[in-house]
Chain A
Amino acid sequence: MNPLGPTPAILHASYVLAHAPDLVRYGSKPVREIGRDPSLLPQVTGSLRPWDEVVAYPPNQVFIGNLVPDDLASIPRPWYENRIDPAGSEGPFGRMVTQPALYGLMKLCDDFDLLAIDGELADQAGADLADFDHRRGRITGVDPAELRAMAEASNGLDLHQDGRRAGFIRTVHDQDESLSASVLLENLVCKATAVLAVSDLLRRARLAAGEIDYLLNCGEEAVGDRYQRGGGSLSKAVGEVVGCVNATGSDVKAFCSAPVHALIAAGAMVAAGVHRYVVVLGGGSQAKLGMKFGAHLRSGVPVMEDCLASMAFLVGPTGADGDGMGLRLDLAGKHPIGAGSSPKAVYEALVVEPLVRAGLRMTDIDRYAVEMHNPEITEPGGSGDVPKTNYRTLAAMAVLRREIERGDMDRFVAERGMPGFAPTQGHIPAGVPYLGHALEAMRHGSLDRAMIVAKGSLFLGRMTQLVDGVSFVVERPGSRPS
């Protein structure tokens, strides 16, 4: 495909869910609503799920690869009542970790003593984090009296475990909102969850951390102090913890579509020979925990935005053994500024144009991965079934292009789409949760070609009315006729 350099491939993927029930109260929506009405706090905590229910929740099992999306399609809703039994917290391309493990990760990522946890929590955390022997010594606890004194002497946020104050994160600068405890908490959980995803990725890839040349972070946190809020980079901070001593890195910011932008950029770096191994990573979004808790409470369903999600992808040259899946940079799609923002214009740009450019039809793509939001989370708040709407729109495009008959739209959706299974963690659901499944399916020879389509709501920052979008195609090595 590229006579000048290596053909890039996505070699491995890893996904992490960190159970964070006691951080839900600090999500952007809950913290505002509970501030107005403190009686909501016990309602929220009373509607959170215990660890074993989170592990057994079918969409979470799909996220880490123990189930495939088609399995989810056959499990009746509500999924929170139809749990998987038995269910494991480790999957073929991901894992779930407990809240103590999350606190421990935050502590071992804490280079500025922002955070203190008690001894009991530190002991719980240390046991779960065997991958980090070189840093586990940082997970030290303080006694409860010291924690209490710290909380009384400083501005900051209490952190809870099992109903007790088990930690405290402090505000660094009282006059700098960017260094307030709430912003530092967002940044630290993003770093910590990304660290686990990258570590898990390299373990599965059996690749030494020192082999990584470059890190591209695509998370949605805003690292920096008041003079450069959001201008800072988290990629190198994550790489340092994992031990990627030969890597540097930078961040790609594009709202929800950032991971797909980053993967295209990573592929281009590999193809151009600038770097051999590039890791694309994204940590979890604290702000989005409990985002739809009000609708969940009113609907009598659990508050399901209770996990931070993170992910990491290894991009490198296609191996001699044909491992991984080819990243077809020649089929990268983009939504140009002048394209217009109607659904038709967006899908023409993202899906149809790159396929037509390569002489392909929409039906030449075996699976499309769009915004993969779990509908069980979004529907109570009136946001509908996001993936289903997107797949119906894609099917309508295929009808307009006379590739399928109108009566075949449902079949198009069933065969080339899938139910949403990703937590509503901003950049996480945008197409890329399917990459782990695509890798597995291509390894087994049951999938030849998939298109990953991401859209981003640029207008949320109030700097433009535009939307954004990018796409790429992944392909099983050797699946194309020569």
Chain B
Amino acid sequence: MDLEDQANVNRLAETSGTDDMVVLLGQPDANSAGLFAETVTRGDPTWAGPLAGVPLGLPVYHVLEPEIKEQMDGDLYDEHVGLMELSADVDEIIKWVAVCRD
């Protein structure tokens, strides 16, 4: 997760609190989805950004997870996510995001 995104997440957490905050990821592979999920839960594992050593513990989901998909308009989902749903290793992505979330 780049430093600007980390700073934005950190700022929102500090100014608005984390009670009503959910992070939604869209990375196309398990490795980067896992790294991003870890960043917003346990802190930046690369120790490079504002979330280094900041375990926000935010609930984090991937856009490919069924509980996210079922809340979205079907046509819009197909337009923006359909191609990734077909091309990505969905099970692996969900597994790694869930590991961080749980």
A residues with CB within 8 A of B: 33, 294-295, 298, 340, 342-345, 347, 379, 381-385, 388-389, 392-393, 395-397, 399-400, 406, 409
| Most chain A beta carbons < 10 A, residue from B32, B36, B87 | B87
Distance A409 CA – B48 CA, assembled complex (angstroms): 36
Nearest B residue (CB) for A344: B83
Contacting residues of chain B (62-80) with chain A, CB-CB under 8 angstroms = 79-80
Q: Which of B32, B83, B87 contacts A382 (CB 8 A)?
A: B32
Given contacts A298-B46, A298-B47, A382-B1, contact A395 B27 (CB under 8 A): no
Distance A343 CA – B78 CA, assembled complex (angstroms): 11
B residues with CB within 8 A of A: 1, 27-29, 31-32, 35-36, 46-48, 79-80, 82-84, 86-88
Distance A63 CA – B41 CA, assembled complex (angstroms): 39
Given contacts A294-B46, A295-B46, A382-B1, contact A396 B83 (CB under 8 A): yes
Are A395 and B87 in contact, CB atoms less than 8 angstroms apart?
Answer: yes
Are A343 and B31 in contact, CB atoms less than 8 angstroms apart?
Answer: no
Report chain A residues within 8 Å CB of B47.
294, 298
Additional A-B contacts beyond A340-B79, A344-B79, A392-B87 (6; CB < 8 A): A295-B48, A344-B80, A344-B83, A382-B35, A382-B36, A393-B84
Q: Which of B29, B48, B80, B86 contacts A384 (CB 8 A)?
A: B29
Distance A298 CA – B52 CA, assembled complex (angstroms): 13
Shortest CB–CB separation between residue A95 and chain B, in angstroms? 34
Distance A213 CA – B87 CA, assembled complex (angstroms): 45
Are B80 and A342 in contact, CB atoms less than 8 angstroms apart?
Answer: yes
Nearest A residue (CB) for B85: A396
Show 20 A/B contacts (Cβ-Cβ < 8 Å), sorted by A. Answer: A33-B48, A294-B48, A298-B46, A340-B79, A342-B79, A344-B79, A344-B80, A345-B79, A382-B31, A382-B35, A382-B36, A384-B32, A389-B87, A392-B87, A395-B87, A396-B87, A397-B83, A399-B86, A400-B83, A406-B86
Report chain A residues within 8 Å CB of B82.
344, 400
Report chain B residues within 8 Å CB of A397.
83
Are A389 and B29 in contact, CB atoms less than 8 angstroms apart?
Answer: yes
Report chain A residues within 8 Å CB of B29.
384-385, 388-389
Distance A384 CA – B36 CA, assembled complex (angstroms): 12
Nearest A residue (CB) for B76: A342
Distance A393 CA – B87 CA, assembled complex (angstroms): 5
